Amino acid sequence: MVSTLVYFGANTPDGSVAPAEWQDFVDAEVTPRFPDGFSFWSASGQWRSSSGVIEREPSRVLNVVHAGRADESRALDEIARAYRERFQQESVLHLETQGCARF
């Protein structure tokens, strides 16, 4: 199994992604692609932007445990792309870790 963490910054050029906007995004983009389940939580993050500035911002982390198939990787890429476009983000971070899972 693969555990993918996707980090979404919540600052936007117009303010920040509100909880209702995040939930709308999850409902429209994440749930249809991973209907079997996932987890997400709020976090605080820091990263260096392409201009070299250290950015600190509230964030959300999505965790999807999946089989690692090509269609699942594509779905995660589509989710990140949709978030970048919808909320005018410079980047979205993906971290994948292989492991063993039992239910």
The pTM assigned to this predicted structure is 0.92
Enumerate the β-bridge partners of residue 7. 61, 93
Residue 79 pLDDT = 98
3-state secondary structure of 80: helix
* DSSP-assigned letters across all residues of 7-62: EEE-EETTEE--HHHHHHHIIIIITTT-TT--EEEEEEEEEE-TTS-EEEEEEEEE
Residue 49 pLDDT = 86
Tell me which residue has tokens 């992604």.
17
pLDDT averaged per 10 residues, the chain (length 103): 97 94 98 97 92 93 97 97 96 94 82
- CA nearest 28: which of 93, 86, 77? 86
Residue 102 pLDDT = 82
Residue 101 pLDDT = 85
